[in-house]
A and B are shown apart, each in its own frame.
Chain A
Amino acid sequence: MSDTNRQINSAMSPEDRPGRKPPFINVAPSPHISDSRADTRRMMVDVLLGLSPAIIVSLYLFRFYALKQLIVCVVASLAAEYFFVRMRGKSFTLKDCSAMVTGVILGLSMPGSAPWFVGALASVVGIGIGKIIFGGIGMNIFNPAMVGRAFVMIAFAQLMGAGAYENVTGLVDAVSGATPLSALKFNGVHTDIAPLFMGVTNGSIGEVSAGACILGGLYLIYRKTASWQIPASILITVALIAAITDIAGGYQGVFLLHHLFAGALMFGAFFIATDPATSPLTAKGKMIFGVGTGCLIMVIRLFSGYPEGVMFAVLIMNAMTPLINRWTIPQPMGQREA
């Protein structure tokens, strides 16, 4: 949703409440601009289009496993949305495609090897605890897909973290000495001409190809569905920290490139962090959000027990978003700071 849309939506929300008469007058904060093209559905379709390169690459690389994850997550997300929205006695919201987007993003962030119930549970938790509990679309504090993923990540650490991500780290030697899950036989597919760019890892199905993510991301930015500030500031921050580590460690650029193209960074920067409902509203706020996310990603990657930090970084910064919004609230013209 765009900023405008979000405000309108929240202003109109009393209308949806059961047992209350819809108000006659809508009171909404300025700007009172309504762009008929800027509705939720259009944005979500855009996001799906933006995700399509990543989906295609994942289907090509992982075939059945990618298809399975995507179908499981999308079906479970739609079902959860349907069920929970019904439970709250609200109007049916499947048409805005937001649950579909959540499902696709979740599916793409699953390791191909994960059993079906992992994706299904992640979708139900993401939609239920991540979104509906907070009041549905636009009201959620945390990115629903990442809430679901964090839940299964901790719940099924064995299936989600260790096996699938051990080798996705920025640790260069770990990749060269990787022992991929032989049962899935991903290895042959992965050792590609541009392995870093195409994805050398046994990671989440949608994130292995940095190229596809960049392509889709640029489309989103071109369509103004995603703001450019967030991905740009995340990538610059990560690149800066990685470059410093690179120089300090004498890796001659390998470390830097690896951190930029490996793992969920591109996917997260373009598709996850840019979720309008859970990121700041102002341009300045988006910059702060991006820098914070980038720093957290690198801190988690370099210093924590987890090899990849995009998910937790985005979730932590989601929690900071209301605060960032308050800091960066624009001053009305002609008014000095009190």
Chain B
Amino acid sequence: MADQPTALERFVQGILPENPVYRQLLGLCPTLAVTNGMKPALTMAVSVAFVLVCANVVISLIRNLLKPHLRIVVFTLTIATFVTVADRVLAAYMFQMSKTLGPYIPLIIVNCLIICRCEVCASKQNVITAAADGLGQAIGFGLALASIAAVREILGTGMLMGFRVLPACWPDWVVMVLPPGAFITLGLLLGLVNYIDDKREQARK
């Protein structure tokens, strides 16, 4: 596996160059569903980080035992276990938040991002690289969620994390905290990221 990226490369790539949301367009369900506020978005990001890192480590540990045609089953099994753990812990210690997030924590099981990282990295590389990859991707995912949530919460309620950031006369753009706002924000931010990327590409030439 000489041509596989190193642990550091994996870590760095996950954050921006291969950002799960803005570059790979993975895990868009929670990205759209829970970003109407910063708090649920961050909780979701932490839960995903936990599941991603744990699943990556476990898969990496057993990577030599995997049978190619059964690997997806093993991935799903592992992911489902850690998602259940995250769901139960949230329900026990952050009950209100767990109610707010509703089905979206259990739905991490079907978040393509995690199974993608298991497939691409964890099932091929060693534990440290897999952990670094999971962490990097999770940070990238968290950044994406936080950026969308910041736009939506500030425009939609004039507040961030429950603190008022815009003057009280700000007319709340209710649409931003509703589902259409999620799509509009994601689309515009994606466009913005592509635009900046284009500019940098041109500057490099």
- A residues with CB within 8 A of B: 115, 117-118, 121, 129, 133, 151-152, 154-157, 159
Contacts and interface: CB of A to CB of B under 8 A. Distances in A.
Nearest to A153: B175
B175 A117 contact: no
B171 A156 contact: yes
Given A154-B175, A155-B173, 7 more contacts: A121-B173, A151-B180, A152-B175, A154-B174, A156-B171, A156-B173, A157-B174
Contacts of A154: 174-175, 178, 180
A156 B177 CA distance: 12
B184 interface: yes
B145 interface: no
Interface in B166-194: 171-176, 178, 180, 184, 188, 191
A155 B184 contact: no
A115 B184 contact: no
Interface of B: 171-176, 178, 180, 184, 188, 191
24 contacts: A115-B171, A117-B171, A118-B171, A121-B173, A129-B184, A129-B188, A133-B191, A151-B175, A151-B180, A151-B184, A152-B175, A154-B174, A154-B175, A154-B178, A154-B180, A155-B172, A155-B173, A155-B174, A155-B175, A155-B176, A156-B171, A156-B173, A156-B174, A157-B174
Give the interface SS of chain A, mostly helix, strand, loop or mixed.
helix
Contacts of A156: 171, 173-174
A148 to B, nearest CB: 12
Nearest to A128: B188
A156 B173 CA distance: 6
B186 to A, nearest CB: 13
Nearest to B179: A154
Contacts of A121: 173
A174 B191 CA distance: 45
Contacts of A133: 191
Nearest to A121: B173
Nearest to A115: B171
A208 B44 CA distance: 48
Quick one: which of A129, A151, A152 has the most chain B CB within 10 A? A151
Contacts of B175: 151-152, 154-155
Contacts of B191: 133
Nearest to B173: A155
A155 B184 CA distance: 12
Nearest to A125: B184
A338 to B, nearest CB: 37
Contacts of B180: 151, 154
Contacts of A152: 175
A156 B171 CA distance: 8
B194 to A, nearest CB: 12
A142 to B, nearest CB: 13
A117 B170 CA distance: 10
Contacts of B171: 115, 117-118, 156, 159
Contacts of B188: 129
Contacts of B184: 129, 151
Contacts of A151: 175, 180, 184
A159 to B, nearest CB: 8
Contacts of B176: 155
A121 B173 CA distance: 10
Contacts of A155: 172-176
A115 B191 CA distance: 30
A57 to B, nearest CB: 29
Contacts of B178: 154
